[in-house]
Amino acid sequence: MRIAYLSTFYPFRGGIAQFNASLCQALVAQGHDVLPYTFSRQYPQVLFPGKSQYVQAGDHATELNSIPVLDSINPLNWPKAARQIRGQKPDLLLMKFWMSFFGPSLGAVAARMAPETRVVSVLDNVLPHERRFFDLPLTRRFLARNHGFVVMSEAVEKDLNRFRPEAARLFHRHPVYDHFGEALDRSEARRALGLAPDEKLLLFYGFIRAYKGLDLLLDAFDQLRGPYRLMIAGEAYEPFAPYAARIAASPFSSAIEVRERYISDEETRLLFSAADACVLPYHHATQSGIALIAYQFRLPMLATDVGGLKEYVENGVNGILVPPEDKAALARGIERYFEQGGYERFSPALSGMRQQLSWEHLATSLAAFVDRLPGAI
């Protein structure tokens, strides 16, 4: 099958770019002819909440030779991008959709494909976590341009059904992010972070945004007693000052370390190798790429029972689930996790689960799904 894959690729950074690269490689390994296309401009810099859109030193990014073709904010570019892709006569246009901002540009390309080209999008989110007035119309219009979808959580599938309940879809769990490499020796990683043997390290990792519940975790951390440490590692996509003030006022501020910046792949490997648990205290969620990093490093998770998180955290097996919006319940869940054996008890369960979530299986399932679509080549 000849596949035009239009999304974020190297040199853009982040989990979405790595997802695309990993799936692209798996499709090529199975004999498909994949043509990766990316953005000539992904976000205008003035709208980008982080410091850089591009791969940084210390990242293990997959360097695919993608073609920069689509300017997300220039409508005059969209027909040209579509002509360039259509000229390759793909059997499939594959895209990734995670926010309505990209709906107009991606949808314009999809609408200009030849009738024999199937259009399928992998949906990270149907609706964004922070809603805006234009999300519904832009999302509805984009979804109408597709012949089928890949959904990776029940929460996302539920949102898809709000717009297109009749749509063909492939349900497949998000594969594990394995590009970070294997975990470092746990004792050496902990020594590198200056941790004492009895310290219990909780890791809050990833872009800092309101829906991810760092405020709830800070409130819960104040209720803990014992040798707990909290590592906050990630770039803030909102003002960090309120969190900094909250940390400074904590009676346990000396046990909280903040790395408020972009975390390279190499540093990610160190933190996940050293931690006792990854904490996902979300207020709401669809799915979490952080959970798939935790799977790679066999790091158990403590999570609130919202959205698709329960699809990754099996309570009492590979982590602990607690009720949402309840700092006391989160604090008690953290204590219960360590009382029941902590890392040593819960980590082994992640090994078997990790093997079930491969890029190869997703590629095989996707190809079979496209073959079943009406009019597919």
- Tell me the pLDDT tens digit for each residue of 166-209: 999 999 988 988 888 889 999 999 999 999 989 999 999 998 99
CB contact burial 155-180 (16+ within 10 A = b; e otherwise): bbbebbeebbeebbbbebbbbbbbbb
Q: What is the pLDDT of residues 22-69, one digit of tens each?
A: 999 999 999 999 999 999 998 776 555 556 566 665 555 567 889 999
Residues forming beta bridges with residue 149, ordered by sequence position: 121, 169
Q: Coil, strand or helix: which one is 169? A: strand
The pLDDT value recorded for residue 376 is 58
Q: Is the distance from CB of 145 to CB of 107 less than 8 angstroms?
A: yes
Confidence band, pLDDT 50/70/90 cuts, at residue 84: very high
Q: Decide if 181 is inside a domain.
A: no
Q: Do 366 and 256 have their domain in common?
A: no
Position 317 pLDDT exceeds 60: yes
**Residue 348 pLDDT class (50, 70, 90 cuts):** very high
Same domain, 224 and 101: no
Q: What is the pLDDT of residue 213?
A: 95
> Would 237 be classed as within a structural domain?
yes
> Does 168 share its domain with 120?
yes
Q: Are residues 199 and 248 in the same domain?
A: yes
| Domain match, 204 and 328 both | yes
In a domain, 266, yes or no: yes
109 phi, psi to nearest 5 deg = -65, -45
Q: Give yes or no: residues 219 and 260 share one domain.
A: yes
Q: What CA–CA distance (Å, rounded) separates 110 from 256?
A: 47
Q: Do residues 321 and 303 touch, judged by C-beta distance below 8 A?
A: yes
CA distances from 9 to 55, 69, 133, 157, 167 (A): 10, 12, 29, 25, 27
Confidence (pTM): 0.77
Task: Give domain status of residue 142, yes or no.
Answer: yes
124 and 230 share one domain = no
Please report the pLDDT score of residue 288 as a whole number: 78
Domain holding 314, by residue range, is: 186-355
Q: Are residues 196 and 123 in the same domain?
A: no
